[in-house]
C-alpha cells in the first residue's frame, strides 16, 4: 500500500514540474506569411491562422476580407515558455512586419491587415510596450511606429485551407510573398531600424 501511495505521489509531483503551454496572438498582415517565422522557433508547438479583434461572431475569410467585421488577420501561437520566451516571440514579430504602416501590411491594405500585438494580461502588455519603446528609441525620430498593442479578444480559427499555407502551397506562397514585396520592404525596415 505504501509503495502505491508513494508512486501516486511521485507521479503527481512529476506532472506539476512540467509548465503549461502559453498562447499569444499577433497580427502582421496576411497570416500566411506570419506562420513560418514562428514555426521555426524551438518551443513553438503550433501556429493557427485566424481572426481576432472584431465584433462579428464566427467570422469567415470572406466576411473578414471586406474590412467591415473589425477583425484582424492574426496568428495564435501555442508555445512552451520553458523553451521560448514571450520576449523572443515579440522579437520575431517585429522582424516580420512593417511597423510604420497604419493601413495594412505590404501589398495588403485595409483594417483587417493592420499589425497589432494582442495581450492577454498586464505582463504581456508591459513586455510588448517595452519592446515597442525600445524599437522606437532605435529609430532616433526617423519614423514613428504605428503598430498597436491591444487587449486580446476571442480568437477564431481561419478555414482549414489557410492553415500551414506555406507548407501546403509552397509555390503559390513564394509567388504571393515575392509579388507583395514583403521581403524587400522588410529589408528596408531593418535598414531604417539599424541606421543604415
CA torsion sign for 174, 180, 186, 191 is positive
Task: Supply angle C-alpha 38, 100, 189, rounded to 5.
Answer: 65
For the chain, the farthest-separated pair of C-alpha atoms sits apart, in whole angstroms, at 71
pLDDT in the model for residue 15: 47
Residue 45 has pLDDT above 60, yes or no: yes
DSSP the chain: -HHHHHHHHHHHHHHHHSPPPEEEEEEESSTHHHHHHHHTSTTEEEEEEEEESSSSSS--HHHHTTT-S-PEEEEEEEE-TTTS-HHHHHHHHHHTS-TT-SSEETTEESGGG-EEEEESSHHHHHHHHHHHHHHHHHTTTS-----EEEE---EEEPPGGGTTHHHHSHHHHHHHHHHHTHHHHHHHHHHHHTT-
Active site residues per annotation:
30
pLDDT confidence of 196, banded at 50, 70, 90? confident
pLDDT in the model for residue 6: 57
pLDDT in the model for residue 132: 98
Domains of the chain: 20-193 (3.30.1060.10)
Residue-wise pLDDT tens digits, 102-128? 999 999 999 999 999 999 999 999 999
Q: What does the buried/exposed string (b/e) look like for 100-123 if buried means 16 or more CB atoms within 10 Å of the residue's CB? A: bbeebbbebeebbbbbbbbbeeee
Amino acid at each position: 500500500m505504501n509503495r502505491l501511495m508513494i508512486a501516486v505521489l511521485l507521479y503527481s509531483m512529476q506532472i506539476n514540474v512540467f509548465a503549461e503551454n502559453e498562447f499569444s496572438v499577433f497580427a502582421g498582415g496576411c497570416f500566411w506569411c506570419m506562420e513560418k517565422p514562428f514555426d521555426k522557433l524551438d518551443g513553438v508547438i503550433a501556429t493557427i491562422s485566424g481572426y481576432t479583434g472584431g465584433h462579428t461572431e464566427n467570422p469567415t475569410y470572406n466576411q473578414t476580407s471586406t474590412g467591415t467585421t473589425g477583425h484582424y488577420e492574426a496568428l495564435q501561437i501555442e508555445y512552451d515558455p520553458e523553451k521560448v520566451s514571450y520576449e523572443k516571440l515579440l522579437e520575431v514579430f517585429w522582424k516580420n512586419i512593417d511597423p510604420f504602416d497604419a493601413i495594412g501590411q505590404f501589398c495588403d491594405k485595409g483594417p483587417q491587415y493592420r499589425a497589432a500585438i494582442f495581450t492577454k494580461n498586464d505582463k504581456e502588455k508591459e513586455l510588448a510596450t517595452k519592446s515597442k519603446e525600445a524599437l522606437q528609441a532605435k529609430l532616433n525620430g526617423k519614423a514613428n511606429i504605428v503598430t498597436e498593442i491591444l487587449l486580446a479578444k476571442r480568437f477564431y480559427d481561419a478555414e482549414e485551407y489557410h492553415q500551414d499555407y506555406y507548407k501546403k502551397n509552397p509555390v503559390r506562397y513564394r509567388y504571393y510573398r515575392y509579388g507583395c514585396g514583403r521581403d524587400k520592404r522588410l529589408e528596408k525596415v531593418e535598414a531604417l531600424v539599424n541606421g543604415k
